[in-house]
Amino acid sequence: MRKLTLASLALAASVTCAFAGQKPPSNEKGGQFVLRWLGTAGWEISDGTTVILIDPYVSRIFGPQPPGRTPYMQPPEDKRPLYGWDSVATPDLAAIDAHVPRADFVLVTHTHYDHVLDVPQIALKTHATVIGTESTENVLRAYKVPEEQLLTVHGGEDYEFGVFSLKVIPSLHSPLDRKHYFSSEKAPEGMKAPLTLRQMHPEGGTLAFLIRFHGHQILAFGGMNYIEREIEGLEPDVVLVGAAASRKEIHDYSGRLMRGLHFPALVLPTHWDNFTAPFDASQQPSIDALQSFLEEIKAASPKTKIITPKYFEAIPVGAAAQ
């Protein structure tokens, strides 16, 4: 098994950034950065200078229940309105301001509302570059995010941004609904905001992202599936792995993934919580369901460290990480 460590050296040289206004990389030895889970499939990756977001969704609206999970039963003290598929989607601006103060890049794996609902507001607020499918970018265009902030990708691209590099990987969403899930629909051009949940929910294709940052490689998935041939040759030391129950519809999901990635040093489960519940609600049913995933990873890759993230808590990676 390849020997990996979370104490790799940082990239040695500063390079000119590819996007105007982007700050140059830090020369600090050790190359430490921090990951923070934003709930659902959302993550922040930051070295204190550059902020990269993945599927940032902090509004936690009380919307349609995700299939295959214990439904969230709204208690009397939870006064959030109930959203249906034909409801106009309204982001929680206070939550965005509290949890997403800034961003330089936003990576979106697919266009379901629990991945993209907050992205237009975040892009308008931070002026971040948004990288995603045509479907994703059409949602942002509906909210008048400037075209110069939109970078449409299809999967297969490998881009250099100076501070970090990004390989865009074709992927699959998940089986959902006991293998009956299928969607070739994308969010169309020419939509006008505000959009309903149904309008911003076409998957539009699913991507994974390999982020090379300060000498580390972080592989991020936004769903519970992958294309095995597309991960061949990748050797990330940090992997954000979709861990919801629909993964059980995939043959040897965790084993094939760990072997295909040459047994990464660190796995962080993602997209396992019930995203219709507020942040302060109990996630005990989801935590209980997560335990089988943790056991799968331990069995497939005994030397891999697994951290179950907590909302917004820092997970350091680099020379200072233990």
Q: How many CA atoms lie within 13 A of 67 on its CB side?
A: 11
pLDDT for 318 = 80
> Strands, E, within the chain: which ranges?
33-39, 42-46, 51-54, 105-107, 129-132, 150-152, 158-160, 165-171, 206-213, 216-220, 238-242, 266-270, 305-306, 314-317
**Residue 151 three-state SS:** strand
SS3 content of the chain, % helix, strand, coil (to 5): 20, 20, 55
Q: 257 phi and psi, to 5 degrees?
A: -65, -45
Q: What would the two tokens of residue 275 be?
A: 């995203």
Which of the four pLDDT bands, split at 50, 70 and 90, describes residue 24?
very low
Q: What would the two tokens of residue 80 be?
A: 């959030």
Q: In a 10 Å sphere around its CB, with 0-12 CB exposed, 13-18 middle and 19+ buried, how is residue 89 labelled?
A: buried
**Distance (Å, rounded) from C-alpha 161 to C-alpha 22?**
9
Q: What is the pLDDT of residues 133-161, one digit of tens each?
A: 999 999 999 999 999 999 999 999 999 99
- Give the contacts of 134 (CB within 8 A, at least 6 positions apart): 152, 154, 186, 204
The residue type found at 180 is H
**Distance (Å, rounded) from C-alpha 102 to C-alpha 240?**
22
Q: What would the two tokens of residue 258 be?
A: 């760990």
Q: What is the length of the chain?
A: 322
Least confident of 22-36, 202-216, 225-239, 301-315: 22-36
**Distance (Å, rounded) from C-alpha 318 to C-alpha 315?**
10
**Distance (Å, rounded) from C-alpha 276 to C-alpha 43?**
17
* pTM summary value: 0.89
**Distance (Å, rounded) from C-alpha 170 to C-alpha 151?**
16
Q: What is the pLDDT of residues 83-131, one digit of tens each?
A: 999 999 899 999 999 999 999 999 999 999 999 999 999 999 999 999 9
Q: How many CA atoms lie within 13 A of 46 on its CB side?
A: 18
Q: What is the pLDDT of residues 272-311, one digit of tens each?
A: 999 999 999 999 999 999 999 999 999 999 999 999 999 9
